C-alpha cells in the first residue's frame, strides 16, 4: 500500500515540479506577473469564483449543453451505425455521407449553428450533437460488422427475432468499438463546447474565460481554464473506468 503511494507520488512528481516552477517564476517576476500570475493567486481566485457562484452557474450551463449534445449524439449516432451494419441498403447510401462528413473539421459548424439557433443553448447542443455523432456511428458500425457471424446465425436459427438478436448478440459484441467511438466523441464534445463558448456565447465556461480575460482578471481566467482542463481529464478517466466495468465480461 505505502509502496504504491510512493510509486504514484514519484510518478506524478514532475507535475508538482511544474507547479513549483510556475509559482517561483511568477513570484520572482521572471516573467510579467500579468501574463503569468502565481499559482497561489490563481487558487485564491478559483475559491472566490466558486464562492460568488460564477463558476457554478456557468459550469452548469456548460455541462448541460455538453451532456445533452453528447447524449443525442450517442443515441442517434449509435442507432445509425447499427442500422448501417444490419441493412445493406443503409450501408450503401448512408456510408458515403458518413465518409464525406467524417473528415469535416467540426469547428466549421460553429458559425452555421449560430446562424440557425442563435447564441444560446440550442446552437451549442446542435453543434456538439452534429460534431460528436460521426465517431459514435463509425464505432457502432465497425463493431457491429465485426460481430461473430456464427453467433448471429445460431441466434437466428434458434428463432431470435431481429430486435432480440440486436440486443443480445450484436450490441454486446459491438460494445468495445462503440465505447471507443464514444470516448472520441467525449473529447470532441469538450473541444467544441469550449471553443464555441469562447467564440460566441453569453454564459458557460468559455464565456467566463473570455469575460475574465477581457476585464484583465487574469488570475480568474487561469482558474477557469485549469478547471475546464481538469474536467476534461477527469471525464476521460471516469469514462475509462466505466468502460472497463461495462466490458468486464470479456476475458
Partner 1 sequence: MARVEDHNTLAAAQADISQDALRRLDNVFRTGAGVFSILLLLIAWEVFARSGRVTAFMLPPFSVVAERIYADAVSGELWRNLGVTMFRAMAGFGIAAVGGITLGALMSRSKIVHWFFDPIISVGFPMPKIAFLPIIILWLGLYDTAKISIVVLDAIFPVVTATLAGIAGVDKVLLWSARNMGARDNAIMWQIVLPAALPQILTGLQVALPIALIVAIIAEMAMGGYGLGGAMMTASRYANSPAVFAGIVEIAAVGYALIKIMALIRRRLLVWHEETAGH
Binding site for partner 1 (CB under 8 A): 10-15, 18, 35, 92-97, 99-112, 114-116, 187, 190-191, 193-195, 198-199, 205-206, 209-210, 213, 218, 221-222, 225, 228-230, 232-233, 235-237
CB closer to partner 1 out of 134 and 166? 134
For residue 49, give every residue at least 6 positions away whose Cβ sits within 8 Å of its Cβ, in sequence order, or none.
55, 208, 220, 223, 224
- Given phi > 0 = left and psi -120 to 50 = alpha, else beta, which region is 161? beta
CB closer to partner 1 out of 16 and 47? 16
Buried b (16+ CB within 10 A) or exposed e, 1-39: eeeeeeeeeeeeeeeeeeeeebbeebeeeeeebeebbbb
Nearest distance, CB of residue 194 and partner 1, angstroms: 5
Q: CA 136 to CA 139: how far, in whole Å?
A: 5
Residue with cell 460494445: 175
CB closer to partner 1 out of 26 and 166? 26
Nearest distance, CB of residue 168 and partner 1, angstroms: 30
Nearest distance, CB of residue 19 and partner 1, angstroms: 12
Nearest distance, CB of residue 198 and partner 1, angstroms: 5
* Burial class for 86, CB neighbours closer than 10 Å (0-12, 13-18, 19+): middle
CB closer to partner 1 out of 74 and 225? 225
CB closer to partner 1 out of 165 and 225? 225
Nearest distance, CB of residue 209 and partner 1, angstroms: 5
CB closer to partner 1 out of 143 and 207? 207
Q: CA 96 to CA 180: how far, in whole Å?
A: 22
* Burial class for 181, CB neighbours closer than 10 Å (0-12, 13-18, 19+): buried
CB closer to partner 1 out of 129 and 218? 218
Nearest distance, CB of residue 200 and partner 1, angstroms: 8
Nearest distance, CB of residue 189 and partner 1, angstroms: 9
Q: Are 202 and 119 in contact (CB under 8 A)?
A: yes
Cα-based torsion angle of the residue sequence 229, 235, 241, 246 in order, rounded to the nearest 10 degrees = -150
Amino acid at each position: 500500500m505505502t509502496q504504491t503511494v510512493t510509486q504514484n507520488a514519484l510518478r506524478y512528481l514532475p507535475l508538482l515540479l511544474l507547479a513549483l516552477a510556475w509559482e517561483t517564476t511568477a513570484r520572482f517576476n521572471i516573467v510579467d506577473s500579468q501574463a503569468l500570475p502565481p499559482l497561489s493567486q490563481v487558487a485564491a481566485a478559483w475559491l472566490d469564483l466558486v464562492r460568488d457562484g460564477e463558476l457554478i452557474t456557468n459550469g452548469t450551463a456548460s455541462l448541460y449543453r455538453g451532456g445533452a449534445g453528447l447524449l443525442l449524439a450517442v443515441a442517434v449516432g449509435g442507432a445509425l451505425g447499427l442500422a448501417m451494419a444490419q441493412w445493406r441498403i443503409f450501408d450503401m447510401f448512408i456510408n458515403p455521407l458518413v465518409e464525406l462528413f467524417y473528415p469535416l473539421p467540426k469547428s466549421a459548424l460553429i458559425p452555421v449553428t449560430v446562424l440557425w439557433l442563435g447564441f444560446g443553448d440550442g446552437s451549442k447542443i446542435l453543434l456538439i450533437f452534429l460534431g460528436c455523432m460521426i465517431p459514435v456511428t463509425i464505432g457502432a458500425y465497425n463493431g457491429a460488422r465485426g460481430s461473430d457471424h456464427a453467433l448471429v446465425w445460431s441466434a437466428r436459427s434458434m428463432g431470435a427475432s431481429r430486435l432480440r438478436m440486436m440486443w443480445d448478440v450484436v450490441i454486446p459484441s459491438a460494445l468495445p468499438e462503440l465505447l471507443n467511438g464514444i470516448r472520441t466523441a467525449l473529447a470532441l464534445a469538450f473541444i467544441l463546447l469550449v471553443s464555441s463558448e469562447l467564440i460566441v456565447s453569453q454564459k458557460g465556461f468559455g464565456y467566463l474565460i473570455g469575460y475574465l480575460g477581457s476585464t484583465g482578471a487574469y488570475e480568474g481566467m487561469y482558474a477557469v481554464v485549469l478547471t475546464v482542463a481538469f474536467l476534461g481529464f477527469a471525464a476521460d478517466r471516469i469514462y475509462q473506468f466505466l468502460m472497463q466495468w461495462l466490458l468486464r465480461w470479456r476475458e
